[in-house]
Amino acid sequence: MKHSHKRGCVFLGVAVGMLLSSPWAMAYDGQKCSQPGVCWEAKPGFPQQVVGSKYDPKHDPKEIAKQGDSIKQMEARNKLRVDYFKKSGKFVYDVDKIPQQ
């Protein structure tokens, strides 16, 4: 008797969960397209434009530029490594150990 009671409770819980979740899942599909392929729209309760709203992250341009600068420096180091490898046939990871000519 206990086993069938547990099974019935589990089945009832799953059924109630499905009934409660399905109307909300089907109610909003997010497909109000302004043009073909342009289907973005703000979620309910959020502004259409993020800039100037309380959700604007206000990134510092200097902080954003740091990543671009580090990538340029990395590419310069890689160029030194490749050039030295092409000349000598030896790969040296530490660019400070590459002989200057």
**pLDDT tens by residue, 13-56:** 666 666 665 554 444 455 667 777 777 777 788 887 888 888 88
Q: Count CA atoms closer than 13 A to 23's CA, side-chain side.
A: 3
**pLDDT surpassing 60 at residue 2:** no
Identify whether 97 is part of a domain.
Answer: yes
Residues whose CB falls within 8 Å of the CB of residue 80, separated by 6 or more in sequence, listed in order: 95, 98
Number of domains making up the chain:
1
Residue 90 maps to a domain: yes
Q: Which domain holds residue 78?
A: 60-101
Residue 83: inside a domain, yes or no?
Answer: yes
**Where residue 79 sits, what CATH number does that domain have?**
4.10.160.10
- Is the whole-model pTM more than 0.85? no
Establish if 42 belongs to a structural domain: no
